[in-house]
């Protein structure tokens, strides 16, 4: 039996748990090695023979009292066992233990085993799970609140945008409804003045007395403002905390944080056309999280779509066009390169297409050129001489990515394009403001220096190539239309003629008689459209 007790004691010493045996008075009779090491680390006095219950009672701790009550109930025979979990934190770390008390008889004595098992890892996992569950619940509640608020916001802003009759009405109603929605306190929509490169708030609304920002924003100078960044980067921009932003004092007057603490700016874009920028202010920091920006981005798209619909409707019912005159200085512009190569003035005559659909630009050079002069230009375009007269040379340039074709894709009608001394003077008519803005942005992106000379609305529109083609495409074949355009652009109908029918036929790689057949058929159909 003695050897059995020694074997049991040795085995208990190997277990990663603390074990003690107490008698019915609470006095410690035996401990394993883990208990001894733990107790020695906690206090210096000898634990064998000490009273466990007396030591526990002195601890001013609710867990200690709970443990004493449980142990006494087991020793008194009121229950066979007792267990509890309790914290036992040190200054360096948090720890939790599971205590289990079990009564057993030995040699006529009533004894109890006390086992303490560390459960820190399990407890930390449980606490983390509880925290996650609480966080998930909070996020669910916040999401439900956001969805409820957003649903109403989307409905009311969409109704305002779709139901408006004018662009100003859209801007006014959208700002008013945004400013009336918590946590927003101010909203404004700005438009770009192409002439002086300023972004100007056109319509705004605020909650209570939140002031509108002062003055207009100069696009090149106010790059720190989120509205300017949103416009130039074509993406939403956010200042999460105005009071901590480096440029806040420059962008807004001191005390602005008393009115708003975060700002979001979103471009109003439909396709490749930007109508302006929507700026929203909130009275709390970090108001524009990812979900909020998704909603606002969707709303800005709805507003831009509504503005586009109004522009299209206006285009169908008005006779006005936007006239834009610019000066372009960039040696990479192919007409400028031609002018520099030939040391001559180059002017635009018109645009047609080859059989394969390649755009063909007809240009006039105010000097006589030989074939070898064109061959030696080194310009990355297919340049052909159509005719040569005392007044100059008529060229045909095949290009798919030039200025003329790009403007044509934006609905522009070129009134004038003349290049002299490295400067291209360009005058175009565009169907509406959005097309004008889009075309001007295209020029600024492509070329080194673009100077806006004038920008105004004309009541008498120029007839667009699309208008002519649409009326005649049902009767003119591609070859007939090409022959007619080439003859017109090359001054074939002038007297004396700048070009012969044979030269035009050669440019189309057909015989002279075939060219005249196409031309006469086209003339007959045009006259029938005019007189019938």
Torsion of CA 120, 122, 127, 132, to 10 degrees: 140
Average model confidence (pLDDT) across the chain: 80
User: For 337-390, how does the pLDDT look when each residue is reduced to its tens digit (9 = 90+)?
Assistant: 889 888 899 999 888 887 777 888 888 999 888 777 776 656 656 788 888 887
Q: Is the pLDDT of residue 316 over 80?
A: no
SS3 of 93-147: the string is CCCEEEEEEEEEEECCEEEEEEEEEECHHHHHHHHHHHHHHHHHHHHHHHHHHHH
Q: Which of these ranges, 15-24, 233-242, 370-379, has the smallest mean pLDDT?
A: 370-379
For residues 373 and 379, what is the distance between their CA atoms, to the nearest angstrom? Answer: 11
State the span(s) of the chain assigned CATH 3.30.450.20: 2-118
Q: Give me the half-sphere count of Cα atoms (radius 13 Å) on the Cβ side of residue 226.
A: 24
Q: Model pTM?
A: 0.47
Choice between 236 and 457, residue whose per-residue pLDDT is larger: 236
pLDDT band at 498 (very low <50, low <70, confident <90, very high): confident
Q: What is the average per-residue pLDDT within 155-161? A: 75
- pLDDT of residue 25 exceeding 70: yes
The pLDDT of 250-268, averaged and rounded, is: 81
* pLDDT surpassing 70 at residue 318: no
| 64 or 410, which is more confident | 64
User: Which residue has better confidence, 90 or 257?
Assistant: 90
What pLDDT shows up at residue 346?
A: 93
Q: Please say if the pLDDT value at position 307 is more than 90.
A: no
Are the C-beta atoms of residues 374 and 386 closer than 8 Å to each other? no
Topology at the third CATH level for domain 463-532: Arc Repressor Mutant, subunit A (1.10.10)
Q: Pseudo-torsion of CA 395, 399, 403, 404, nearest 10°? A: 60
Distance, CA of 5 to CA of 374 (rounded, Å): 113
Residues of the chain with CATH 3.30.450.40: 141-317
Q: Per mean pLDDT, which of 182-191, 364-373, 401-410 is the most reliable?
A: 182-191
What per-residue confidence (pLDDT) applies to 161?
Answer: 72
User: Per CATH, which fold does 2-118 belong to?
Assistant: Beta-Lactamase (3.30.450)
Whether 527 shows a pLDDT value over 70: the answer reads yes
Per-residue pLDDT tens over the stretch 476-495:
888 888 888 888 888 888 87
Q: What is residue 469's predicted lDDT score, i.e. its pLDDT?
A: 55
Give, to the nearest 10 degrees, the angle between helix 167-179 and helix 120-163.
Answer: 150
Q: What percent of the chain has a predicted confidence (pLDDT) above 70?
A: 83
Asked if the model's pLDDT at residue 44 lies above 60, the reply is: no
Rg (CA), the chain: 43
Location of structure tokens 């006779």:
319
Per-residue pLDDT, 468: 52
**pLDDT tens digits, 414-469:** 889 999 999 999 999 887 777 787 888 888 888 989 888 888 877 654 444 455 55
Report which DSSP code applies to 243. G
CATH number of the domain located at residue range(s) 141-317 in this protein: 3.30.450.40
pLDDT over threshold 70, residue 110: yes
Q: What are the angstrom distances between the C-alpha of 475 and each of 286, 354, 464, 468, 522? A: 63, 19, 19, 12, 9
pLDDT at 1: 39
- Residue 426 confidence (pLDDT): 93
Report pLDDT for 304.
87
């Amino acid at each position: 039996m003695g050897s059995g007790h020694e074997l049991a004691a040795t085995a208990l010493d190997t277990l990663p748990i603390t074990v003690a045996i107490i008698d019915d008075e609470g006095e410690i009779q035996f401990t394993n090695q883990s208990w001894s090491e733990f107790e020695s680390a906690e206090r210096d006095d000898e634990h064998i023979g000490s009273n466990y219950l007396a030591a526990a009672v002195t601890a001013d701790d609710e867990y200690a009292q709970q443990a004493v009550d449980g142990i006494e109930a087991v020793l008194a025979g009121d229950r066979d066992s007792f267990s509890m979990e309790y914290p036992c934190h040190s200054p360096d770390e948090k720890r939790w233990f599971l205590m289990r008390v079990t009564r057993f008889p030995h040699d006529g004595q009533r004894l109890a085993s006390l086992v303490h098992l560390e459960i820190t890892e399990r407890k930390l996992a449980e606490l983390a799970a509880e925290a996650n569950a609480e966080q998930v619940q909070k996020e669910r509640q916040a999401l439900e609140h956001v969805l409820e608020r957003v649903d109403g916001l989307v409905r009311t802003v969409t109704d305002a945008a779709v139901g408006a009759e004018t662009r100003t009405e859209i801007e006014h109603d959208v700002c008013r409804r945004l400013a009336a929605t918590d946590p927003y306190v101010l909203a404004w929509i700005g438009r770009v003045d192409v002439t002086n490169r300023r972004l100007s708030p056109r319509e705004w609304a605020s909650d209570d007395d939140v002031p509108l920002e002062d003055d207009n924003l100069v696009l090149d100078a106010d790059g720190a403002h989120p509205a300017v960044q949103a416009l130039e980067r074509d993406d939403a921009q956010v200042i999460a905390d105005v009071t901590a932003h480096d440029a806040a004092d420059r962008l807004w007057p001191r005390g602005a944080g008393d009115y708003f603490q975060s700002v979001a700016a979103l471009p109003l874009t439909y396709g490749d056309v930007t109508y302006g920028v929507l700026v929203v202010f909130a009275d709390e920091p970090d108001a524009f999280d990812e979900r909020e920006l998704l909603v606002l981005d969707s709303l800005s798209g709805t507003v831009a779509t509504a503005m586009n619909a109004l522009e299209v409707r206006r285009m169908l019912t008005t006779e006005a066009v936007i006239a834009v005159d610019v000066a372009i200085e960039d040696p990479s512009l192919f007409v400028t390169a031609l002018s520099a190569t030939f040391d001559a003035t180059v002017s635009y005559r018109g645009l047609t297409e080859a059989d394969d659909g390649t755009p063909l630009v007809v240009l006039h050079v105010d000097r006589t050129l030989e074939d070898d002069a064109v061959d030696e230009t080194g310009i990355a375009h297919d340049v052909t001489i159509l005719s040569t007269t005392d007044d100059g040379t008529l060229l045909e340039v095949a290009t798919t990515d030039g200025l003329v074709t790009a403007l044509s894709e934006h609905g522009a009608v070129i009134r004038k394009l003349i290049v002299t001394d490295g400067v291209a003077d360009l005058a175009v008519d565009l169907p509406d403001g959005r097309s004008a803005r889009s075309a001007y942005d295209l020029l600024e992106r492509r070329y080194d220096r673009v100077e806006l000379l004038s920008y105004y609305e004309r009541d008498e529109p120029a007839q667009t190539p699309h208008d002519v083609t649409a009326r005649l495409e049902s009767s003119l074949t591609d070859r007939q239309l090409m022959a007619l355009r080439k003859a017109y652009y090359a001054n074939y109908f002038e007297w004396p003629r700048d070009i012969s029918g044979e030269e035009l036929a050669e440019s189309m790689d057909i015989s002279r008689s075939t060219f005249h057949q196409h031309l006469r058929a086209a003339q007959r159909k045009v006259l029938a459209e005019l007189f019938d």
